[in-house]
Structure 1
Amino acid sequence: MQLFNIFKVKREERWLALAMLAVFVMFNALVIAGHYHAYTMGAHGGFWSIFTKNFRMSGYDNWSWITISGMRIHFETVRHPLYLTFLYPLYLLDSWLIDAVGYNFAVYFMAAILVFSAFYAVVFMYRVFREVLGVTRFDATLLTLFLFSFGHVLVPSMVPDHFIISMMFLTMTLYITGMKMKKGRLLTAWQGCVLTFFTAGMATSNGVKTLLAGLFTNGRRFFSWKNVSLGAVLPFLLLLGIQQSQYYLLEVPQEAVIRNIVHVNREKDARKVEQHINERESWLKSHTGRSAGDGAVGKLMDISTPRGETLVENFFGESVQLHQQYLLKDVSWDRPVFVAYSWAANYVVEAVVVLLFVAGIVSGCRERFFRMLFAWFACDVTLHLVLGFAINEVYIMTAGWAFIIPVACGYLLRRLPQRLRRPYRWLLAALTAFLWMYNAGQTAFYLCSRIC
């Protein structure tokens, strides 16, 4: 399989891909329309205030808009070493356009990236179901639609953050390694290098998943000198070099500018600055659990937030079905950590999804591909639920793990007796239709209410 030929859309994939493309374009248009005049202002400076004042969805960041508009870096490049590399050429183009026509195109550039990534995430997941699992075209379409009906799989396709880009690279990795396993072939060192470079470049934790994929695909041969050096060590060295170059060329000078801005603001109105800082710290403290320590790593880990309630309301709750109250609100600003559903039916739907997931795990546990995917899932559970990283808004990580649910459902479909497959398909179709109407409907309502 040629690594870059997989971006060619096959004939049987076109109708699904085009339909989903229309959905993604529509939702991105609604996001931009929300504060169109503010988002497209060609002002030099002030982009942080413009975007953070007008955009807020569920805790997703708008740093990419700010970076493209004015090269202000607010995300941690250590955790996303390649993200700035993606955005920097767009900043140069946008800066030229702002000077030329006085119009900021940042939201359009980012929307193009999001739509492209979501489009290919659909294509790659369809291929996983169709070619790796070997289900019918109808079932592959149904399972793909089921995945993208999840609340926080759909939402990342329209917010200016990295999650849907990461999902595209992860699903591409699933497809490539799944086909390697099916055909009994090895993942070559250069293929592993490319996949690790891009997945870890978007989020370093995803690099672990790609290495696990290589291990499950190649077995003991994964530990060969060539594979370890080229497929594992080299991409991380390249990413480290890129990140350090960006840090000293762009971030260090920016930090000096920010310190000067803070100093000037304090001189203008020290009381107002202190009041704002104290209010933010008070809110964050009341909405964040107790950290594991005072070190750089310990501060990121939460040891007090209830795990049981997190599983019900956030991990399997908000991730799949958006809550009616505090719809798409941000826990860092205006949402409690836990919100209950207004309808008992939502808990019934959640229970059914979890039961199907568990049954699918039992059905697929003997398959090497599914064991690899479950190892990925175990990484996410360990990071977010055991260690507590970002546990207060764990649902925004959904796009990085939720594909295991429909894959498990696909394995369950394969194991069921023929007489039970039709009612099972009807159940999946009913769930999918409900989740699409519920999540897409609520999201559209939220976005339309913000158009001004």
Structure 2
Amino acid sequence: MSLFNIFKVKKEERLLAFCMLFVFIVFNALVIASHYHVYTMGAQGGFWSIFTKNFRMSGYDNWSWITISGMRIHFETVRHPLYLTFLYPLYLLNSWLIQNVGYNFAVYFMAIIIIFSAFYAVVFMYRIFREVIELSQADSTLFTLLLFSFGHVLVPSMVPDHFIISLMLLSMTMYITGIKIKKQRQLTAWQSFILTFFTAGMATSNGAKILIAGLFTNGKRTFKWKFITIGVILPFLLLLGIQQSQYYFLEVPQQKVVHNIEQVNKKRDAKKVNEHKRQRDAWLRSHTGKAADNSTIGRLMDVSTSRSETLIENFFGESIQLHQQYLLKDVSWDRPIFVKYNWVLNYAIEAIIVLLFIIGIVFGYHKRFFQMLLAWFACDITLHLILGFAINEVYIMTAGWAFIIPIAYGYMLKGLSHKPQQLLRALLLVLTAYLWIYNAGHIAWYLLS
């Protein structure tokens, strides 16, 4: 299987893929249209204010827009080492266009990337159900639609952040390794290199998932010197080199400029600057749990935020069904950590989803491919729920793990006899329709209002 031929859309995939493409285009258009005149201003500078004051969707970042607009880096390149490399050529093109046309195309450039990523995430997820789990065409379509009906799988398909790009790369990895596991073939060292380089390059935490995928696909052969050197060590060394180059050539000079701007603002109105900082720090302290310790890593870990409430309201709650109150608000600005649903129905739906997921695990746990996904899921549970990384807005990480839910349902459906199959299929059809109407309706209302 060529890593490049897999981007060819097959005939049976086209109806689903292009219908979803239309959906993604519409939602991305709504995001841009919501503040069209502001987003496309060709101002030389001031992009941070332009975008951060007008874009706010559940804590997703608009740093890519700012980077493409004015090459200001606000994301941590250590955690996203390839993202800046990815955005820099777009900045150069956009900078030329701003100078010659007076129009900022950043939102359009990112929309193309997001739509492309969402489109192929659909294609790869469909293939996982169809070719790896071997479900029917109709069932594969249903499960793919179910995944994208989840609130925080749908939202990343329209926001200028990296999560849907990660989903595309993770789903591609699942598809490639799933087929290899099924056919008892090996993941080559160079295939591992490409998957690790791009997937970990988009988010370093994904690197662990690629290593796990290699272990489940190759078994003991993973530890061969060639595979370890080319497939594991080399991509991480390259990513480190790229990140460090970016840091010294772009980030360090920028830090000096930003520091000078901050000093000028302080001299101009020190009282206003200090008061804003005091209020901002107070808000963040009240919406962030207690850190594990004062070390660099310890400050990222939350030891006090309620895990039980997180599971109910955020991890299996907001991730799948958006809350009616504080709809798509940002916990860093204007949303409490925990929000209750207005309707008991939401909790009933959540209970059904989780119960079916647990049953699906029972049906699928003996499959090697599903064991790999359980190991991935364990990484997410450990990182976010046990260690508490980003636990106060854990739902924005949904695209990195939620695919295990419909995959578990797929194994359950395949393992049932005919009559229970029909009942489950009908239940999932109703559930999918409800989630699409509920989540897409809320998102559209938010963007249009």
Alignment of 1:89-108 (within 5 A): 89-108=89-108
What secondary structure sits across from 1:330 in the alignment? coil
State the match for 1:420 in structure 2.
420
1:389 counterpart letter in structure 2: F
Alignment correspondent of 2:284 = 284
For residue 227 of structure 1, what is the amino acid of its counterpart? F
**Aligned residue number for residue 13 of structure 1:** 13
Q: Equivalents in 2 of 1:49, 1:207: separation in Å? A: 33
Query: What is the CA-CA distance between 1:281 and the residue it aligns to?
Result: 0.3
| Aligned partner letter, 2:19 | A
Distance 1:320 1:111 in 2: 23
Structure 1 SS opposite 2:205: helix
* Matched residue, 2:371: 371
The yes-or-no answer on 1:125 pairing with 2:125 is yes
| Cα deviation 1:387-429 (Å, max 9, x = unaligned) | 0000000000000000000000000001111121111100000
TM-score normalised per structure 2: 1.00
Find the residue that maps to 1:381 and give its secondary structure.
helix
Partners in 2 of 1:279 and 1:157 — Cα distance? 33
CA distance in 1, matches of 2:99, 2:389: 41
2:306 corresponding residue in structure 1: 306
* Residue 254, structure 1, aligned to residue 246, structure 2: no
Q: Secondary structure at the match of 2:103?
A: coil
CA distance in 2, matches of 1:248, 1:150: 40
Shift of 1:437: 0.1
Match of 1:439 in 2: 439
User: Which deviations, in whole Å up to 9, do the C-alpha atoms of 1:77-124 show, x marking residues without a partner?
Assistant: 000000001100000000000001000000000000000000000000
- Map Cα deviations across residues 307-360 of structure 1 (whole Å, 9 max, x no partner): 000000000000000000000000000000000000000000000000110001
Aligned-partner SS, 1:204: coil
Partner letter of residue 90 of structure 1? L
For the residues of structure 1 that align with 2:95 and 2:2, how far apart are their CA atoms?
A: 36
Q: Unaligned stretches of 5+ in structure 2?
A: none
Is 1:162 aligned to residue 165 of structure 2?
no
Counterpart code for 2:328? L
Corresponding residue for residue 65 of structure 2? 65
Aligned residue number for residue 226 of structure 2: 226
Letter in 2 for 1:253: P
1:65 is displaced (CA, Å) by: 0.2
Paired residues, number: 449
In structure 2, distance between residues paired with 1:244 and 1:309? 39
Distance 2:89 2:427 in 1: 46
> What is residue 3 of structure 2 aligned with on the other side?
3
Superposition pairs of residues 212-361 of structure 1, within 5 angstroms? 212-361=212-361
The sequence identity of aligned pairs, in percent, is 73
- Cα offsets for 1:292-318 (capped at 9, x unmatched): 000100000000000000000000000
- Aligned equivalents of 2:5 and 2:246: distance in 1? 31
* AA in 1 matched with 2:320: V
CA shift digits 1:195-235 (9 cap, x unpaired): 00011000000010001000000000000000000000000
The RMSD of aligned alpha carbons is 0.4
What's the TM-score, normalizing by structure 1?
0.99
Letter in 2 for 1:274: N
Q: C-alpha separation between the residues in 1 aligned to 2:212 and 2:111?
A: 31
| 4+ residue runs over 2 A deviation | none
Match of 2:26 in 1: 26
After superposition, give the CA deviation of every residue in 1:11-61 in whole Å (9 maximum; x if it has no partner): 000000000000000000000001100000001000000000100000000
* Match in the other structure for 1:43: 43
Report the alpha carbon displacement of residue 70 of structure 1 after superposing the two structures with TM.
0.2
Q: Deviations over 1:246-284 (max 9, x none)?
A: 001100000000000000000000000001101110000
Q: Which residue in the other structure is 1:188 paired with?
A: 188
Measured in 1, the distance between the counterparts of 2:157 and 2:277 equals 32
Unaligned 5+ runs, structure 1 = none
Q: Report the alpha carbon displacement of residue 193 of structure 1 after superposing the two structures with TM.
A: 0.4
| 1:138 alignment counterpart | 138
